[in-house]
Structure 1
Amino acid sequence: MIISEYIDYTLLSPTTTEAEIIALCQEARKSNLNSICINSCYVALATELLIGTDVKICSTVGFPAGSASTATKIFEATNAIKEGASEIDMVINLGLLKSKNYVSVMKDISAVKTAISNIPLKVIIEISELNKNEIVKASQICSDANADFITTSTGFSKGGATFTAVKIIKKTVRDTIKIKASGGITNLEMSQKFIDIGVSRIGASPNLKLRKALLKLA
């Protein structure tokens, strides 16, 4: 197993600069990472920078709150794909989920998935805002809506990925959908532990320790 193949190198701060995106792409190239995960305004820039590499570009949609209209999410997703995105990370509508309006939550996810066709769709369920039953329900909806991944967290709420939540998701969906652990993962040791319990992708933001570890693997 090559751990770099699991990494979505993530830079989603609203203050992220063009220079930081350029550096992110350069690091992703050097370390042969699976993908970068960025806000949609930088997809065109990243596409230009990553020409000739196997590094995928994942664009966020409805980020970080998830409360945008379905039509807005569809436009953001399809436009990002036109500009070069090869994966989409959309945020679930937490308000509708909390309202137990599960039909609308399902329709929101299904509509985006239909619009982007065979492009992988990851749905961020923001586990720190959910109790166990809500995590189970959100996971079931994502699976039923034909999403490709369930992503644990945006990294902008009260907490990030936890082993407990990943185990709940895994038990709920079995092998019908993949899991991305994201939020608060700062090193390869933690990444490996999540992979060992069934995660297929890791969302991790650049830091000095992680940079050094990834470069050693390159």
Structure 2
Amino acid sequence: MRVAAGGAAALADTAWRGPAVFRAAWTPAHGARRVADFVDHTLLKAEATRAEIVKLCAEAREHRFAAVCVNATWVELSVKELDRAGVAVATVVGFPLGATTRRTKAAEAAEAVGTGAGEIDMVAAIGRIKGGQWACVEDDIRAVVEASGRALVKVIVESAVLTPEEIVKTCALA
């Protein structure tokens, strides 16, 4: 996620101003090719089958999406399916509630990277956010980043259940 200039310090002192805080660098003038560069083609349903994952990867290869995002059980298959395609393989940790422990999230991330994931999408601890336990949220993020080595880590912010202020604070920590 791209954050307004000034980073976390600027956000901490900024009143909520709506979607402008979250504007990406893309405009319609960039065209469809540029849009595909922002797409993580995702299939996270529990009942996903091998055939569905293979299809997901074929679609991502065809459209040259930035990444596929799959559950950890499908990372190795996705890496094989996307070999030399220029499409990253992402997986989720702490999904879907962010309610797992810091150590569990870090272990999930380390295992996923070990099986080939180049990106880790971690769910921020919703209960910790709602309870204002910002140090715990930051410690969770730090643990996953450290466990992920060189892999890109993205923080999933469940904005539907958060206030605007909680969203801004969580983004500042990420």
Does the alignment reach a TM-score above 0.5? yes
- How far did residue 118 of structure 1 move? 2.6
1:53 to 60, 67, 85: 85
Query: Structure 1 stretches (4+) deviating beyond 4 angstroms?
Result: none
The correspondence of residues 1-218 of structure 1 with structure 2, limited to 5 A, is 1=30, 2=33, 3-142=35-174
- How far did residue 117 of structure 1 move? 2.7
Paired residue for 1:163?
A: none
- How far did residue 18 of structure 1 move? 1.0
Paired residue for 1:164?
A: none
Q: Aligned equivalents of 1:115 and 1:83: distance in 2?
A: 13
* Number of positions where the alignment pairs a residue of Structure 1 with one of Structure 2: 142
Q: Aligned equivalents of 2:147 and 2:103: distance in 1?
A: 10
How well do the aligned residues superpose, as a CA RMSD in angstroms? 1.0
Q: Which amino acid aligns with 2:37?
A: E
Q: Which amino acid aligns with 1:87?
A: E
Alignment gaps of 5+ in structure 1: 143-218
Q: Aligned equivalents of 2:117 and 2:134: distance in 1?
A: 28
Q: Aligned equivalents of 1:41 and 1:6: distance in 2?
A: 24
Q: Which amino acid aligns with 1:25?
A: C
Alignment gaps of 5+ in structure 2: 1-29
Which TM-score applies when normalising by structure 2? 0.79
